[in-house]
Structure 1
Amino acid sequence: MAVLVKNIPKPMLSSANDSSRLADACRRLPAPESYFDGVRRTRADLPDNILLFQRDAGHRRTMSGIGSRARVRDIHHRHILITSLRGEGRVIVNGRAHVVRPGRCVLVLPYQFHHYSRLPAEGFLWMFVTFDIDRLPKALTEGAVRKVPEGFERELLALADVFLAARGERSAVRGDDAGDVLSWRLALLLSLLASGGKKVRAESLRRSAGAEQLLMRVHAIVSANFDRHLTTEEIAGKAGVSESHLRSLFRKAAGMGLGRFQRTLRLQHAAMLLTRGGLTVAGTAEACGWDTPFSFSRAFRKFWGRPPKKFGR
């Protein structure tokens, strides 16, 4: 029988203290009652299609929408974990403002309408991890900002190291193993965040500037009435402003008109409902304010590129 002996990669035991803690943990391991009955996993799905990238002051113009509002607000089917390494800014998710600074991260879930605000002109570095996963740890299913727990940055560094290995950079992990290790590392990072990351409340609406405050207010109004299309008069009345003021200020804040914004949110909500399952296409159409399944299917396919019957499969 061949025996394989390897040196432990440096990232695993980074200091004498780590070695000492490992030896202490080893001594505390109990004698097993059965050598064939261990701790079983509770979930089979792991993160996949993992991408890491960074955003710094050089990307501020496109992120904050200066000169290019079409890129500010985004909806897609990926999970996004954003961690601030340097600099404070705001991530607006589904109409709620979340302050992200060093020591905090935000998880944006699929089909959530999000954009960025008040990004610093310098001293700004955020790491983005985007991925697919069938089922998040239960504690993370609402997304939101969290304080990063102890050990989070160490695991994030290990994740970046493995990702660079997969991209051909030098690393302790072989490139042909990097895909699997990357998935395991991210699963560990998410579990750590779920168990130790304390949720941070969204920022008060009163702290937002006038145009942005109006955008978030309209978002809340539309979200509370997904089952019907609201007129400009109705939205203005609920927001407490005139129709003319609403139209001009809202387009400035959102980079699109009220009609398109409302339709976008309803189609985003429809995608979330279809992904979760339990509703027919007709039921989803009704829940999202369309008169007929046919008109809903046509609008859905035009927006998402796939018919609702095939969505989420």
Structure 2
Amino acid sequence: MIRYNIEIGKYIAKMTKDLTITTDISIPPPPPNRALADGADWVRLEGAVCAISDWREMYMQHISGDVIVPDKVLMFKRRAPMLGPAHRHGRFVLIIPIRTRADVIIDQTFYRIGPSQALMVFPWQFHHFANFEEEDLTWLFMTFELKDEKQIASLRSTPLTLNDQISQNLITLTEIYEARDASVSAVEQEIRLRFGLVLQQLQRQVQRQIKPFSGESGDVRSAAVPHLSLFESVARYLLDNMEEPVSVDDVAECLAMSNSHLRERFRKQYGMSIGHYIRQVKMHHAMRLLSTTDLSVAQIASRTGFQSVYAFSRSFKRETGKSPRQFRDSLISE
């Protein structure tokens, strides 16, 4: 497994920020003009060519179950800690640490991941990085779109283990992506299909793993239980009170802490303020509802704990730069 991580790291290290890469292909000179011996030879050649399996059809034979074909695949690397503002977007993101461990927060769940592991972020999920073990790192990010997220539902809120087969396919995929010619549609299609195969393999891998605490509403644990970490306690309180106004004072009271002590501990441990975390989780929840449901803006305001639609709209625009209606309209127009 270590060998595969090193190999993947080598290919990722060569990838540049300029994601439109072309290659000069040296075409050998044609052979001297020579006619086929007779018509029969031509017929045999044509028959042999027609007998070759279409590469896409042949590739599909290796994918069991429902075929996953992601759209608009984008791969890039990070070589320094990502400590800026929380990210928000409507794309899937497969996060693969090649070198260095770190903490990843996705919505109400806290993970510690490193080489040979991966995490999937779904559209409009809050995600934040903290506590990198080293400044010198290599992390691979693979973002994409998918028409039906149910195809990879098992990858949500689950740390993924990269076995040898998945690692080898990632090496091949990275090589193809690095040397691709964006003008050749067949290459882009192969990238999509190969990545789809990786997603399929990850799902099979999940079936062999025990799913951890996911922070979903079906696995509720009280935020006041002493053995839970600070983050889990805060996240659980926020999840249980998503439809209520939540302040830092409310959380501090629930955890029997002073406001200042809670703020200090949370920022020190997770690299962001607790107020920022509360706002971002609520905003990302609102974005998911706007993008996946037909609920009115007023209903979404209520479900995210705002006492009026006007307060919700002001807060939403302050965080995203768009009103809730503008945000929903922009998704329809894409």
TM-score strictly above 0.5: yes
Q: Tell me the TM-score normalized by structure 2.
A: 0.66
Contact 1:109 1:143 survives alignment (8 Å): no
Contact 1:80 1:128 survives alignment (8 Å): yes
Q: Tell me the TM-score normalized by structure 1.
A: 0.69
Counterpart check, 1:47 vs 2:70: yes
Q: Secondary structure at the match of 1:151?
A: helix
Structure-to-structure mapping, 1:274-285, within 5 angstroms: 274-285=290-301
| CA deviation profile, 1:205-262 (whole Å, cap 9, x unmatched) | xxxxxxxx53443233222211111233321111221122123333445555544432
Contact 1:87 1:102 survives alignment (8 Å): yes
Contact 1:99 1:202 survives alignment (8 Å): no
Unaligned runs of 5+ in 2: 1-42, 53-57, 215-228
Give % identity.
26
Residue 321 of structure 2 aligns with which residue?
305
Structure-to-structure mapping, 1:205-284, within 5 angstroms: 213-253=229-269, 257-284=273-300
- AA in 2 matched with 1:224: D
Q: Secondary structure at the match of 1:166?
A: coil
Contact 2:267 2:274 survives alignment (8 Å): yes
Q: Which segment drifts farther, 81-90 or 223-232? A: 81-90
| CA deviation profile, 1:188-219 (whole Å, cap 9, x unmatched) | 11111112334465599xxxxxxxx5344323
Contact 2:118 2:162 survives alignment (8 Å): yes
Change (3 A) 1:276 1:141: farther
What is the RMSD of the two structures over their aligned residues, measured on CA atoms?
3.7
Residue 90 of structure 1 aligns with which residue?
103
Contact 2:116 2:162 survives alignment (8 Å): yes
Structure-to-structure mapping, 1:1-313, within 5 angstroms: 3=46, 42=66, 46-56=69-79, 59-60=80-81, 63=82, 65=83, 71=84, 73-121=86-134, 124-136=137-149, 137-140=151-154, 142-166=156-180, 175-197=184-206, 198-199=208-209, 213-253=229-269, 257-309=273-325, 310-311=327-328, 312-313=331-332
Higher RCO, 1 vs 2 (CA within 8 Å, ≥6 residues apart): 2
Distance 2:148 2:202 in 1: 15
Change (3 A) 1:300 1:122: closer
- AA in 2 matched with 1:92: I
| Structure number with larger C-alpha Rg | 2
- AA in 1 matched with 2:306: W
What is the CA distance between 1:266 and its match in structure 2?
0.8
How many residue pairs were aligned?
262
- AA in 2 matched with 1:286: S
| CA deviation profile, 1:267-310 (whole Å, cap 9, x unmatched) | 11111122221422222111011222333233323323343335
Q: Secondary structure at the match of 1:246?
A: helix
What is the CA distance between 1:41 and its match in structure 2?
8.2
